[in-house]
């Protein structure tokens, strides 16, 4: 007997590490999805909140140490020591230690799983950009995840040797997966190359853009919107 599961109407966004380079076009797509009735929530880890808060406190308390036009090695060393002291005193110091030992993507995956645990029986679609895709696909086995959309998945770093943590887990992903990748993306542009890392059921859409997935031509934005909205609106058939 087949059961038709209606599409999940909650979206959790797991963004890229460098927040200063968030994509305006991806945010526009998320706003359009909200207009269609999806509830959009942004995932921000405790580590990220703590890291940014500590940085802001250093700037507010010791502004002279942060004058970039007068930066020196002793100033940089003092900033590092201050940050270390504040991390040790911070309530999220374990998250800083975990991130130091295992990497930011692993820590985000751990905290994303905790967030999904709290959802109970509710299902959510995950929309990611760049490194957020590593964290989300790492917890793709979670019962609360219905579908995953990855913009600009970072299959490889352009200046480093292949790193297993980026791709080793991908073949085991069984949830519906959509990869939206730029044909000029330094982190993986050629589907004939990166498809070997993906499960056979994964869908791939190539866009004329780079890793930022931003400032798309009108026709490319329309293709991205059609692919993402159509994918998220799909019903799932379960036996």
Tens-place pLDDT, residues 130-163: 999 999 999 999 999 999 999 999 999 999 999 9
Provide the pLDDT for residue 6.
Answer: 62
Percent of the chain with pLDDT strictly greater than 70:
95
Give the chain's domains with CATH numbers: 3-44+104-234 (3.40.50.1820), 47-101 (no CATH)
Provide the pLDDT for residue 121.
Answer: 83
- Please provide residue 6's backbone torsions phi and psi, each rounded to the nearest 5 degrees: -65, 155
Burial call 47-63: b when 16+ CB within 10 Å, e when fewer = bbebbeebeeebeeeee
Contacts of 232 (CB under 8 A, 6+ apart): 7, 11, 33, 38, 125, 147, 149
pLDDT tier, 183 (very low <50, low <70, confident <90, very high otherwise): very high
Q: What mean pLDDT, rounded, does the chain reach?
A: 92
Provide the pLDDT for residue 235.
Answer: 62
The conformational region for residue 224 under phi > 0 = left, psi -120 to 50 = alpha, else beta, is alpha
The pairing of beta strand 236-238 with beta strand 3-5: antiparallel
Give yes or no for residue 42 having a pLDDT over 50. yes
CB 209 within 8 A of CB 237: no
Give yes or no for residue 1 having a pLDDT over 50. no
Provide the pLDDT for residue 236.
Answer: 53
pTM attached to this predicted model: 0.90
Provide the pLDDT for residue 196.
Answer: 95
CB 175 within 8 A of CB 5: no
């Amino acid at each position: 007997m087949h059961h038709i599961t209606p599409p999940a109407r909650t979206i959790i966004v797991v963004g890229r590490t460098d927040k200063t380079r968030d994509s305006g076009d991806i945010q526009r797509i998320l706003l359009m999805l909200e207009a269609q009735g999806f509830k959009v929530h942004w995932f921000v880890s405790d580590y990220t909140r703590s890291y940014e808060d500590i940085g802001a406190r250093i700037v507010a308390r010791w502004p002279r140490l942060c004058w970039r036009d007068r930066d020196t090695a002793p100033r940089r060393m003092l900033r590092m020591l201050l940050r270390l002291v504040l991390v040790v005193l911070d309530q999220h110091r374990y998250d800083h230690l975990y991130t130091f030992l295992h990497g930011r993507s692993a820590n985000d995956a751990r905290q994303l799983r905790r967030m999904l645990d709290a959802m109970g029986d509710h299902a959510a679609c995950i929309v990611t950009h760049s490194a957020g895709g590593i964290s989300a696909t790492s917890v793709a086995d979670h019962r609360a995840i219905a579908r995953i959309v990855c913009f600009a998945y970072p299959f490889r770093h352009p200046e480093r040797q292949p790193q297993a943590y980026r791709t080793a887990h991908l073949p085991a992903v069984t949830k519906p997966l959509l990869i939206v990748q730029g044909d000029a993306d330094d982190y993986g542009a050629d589907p004939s190359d990166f498809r070997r890392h993906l499960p056979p059921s994964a869908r791939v859409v190539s866009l004329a853009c780079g890793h930022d997935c931003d400032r798309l031509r009108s026709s490319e934005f329309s293709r991205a919107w059609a692919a993402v909205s159509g994918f998220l609106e799909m019903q799932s058939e379960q036996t």
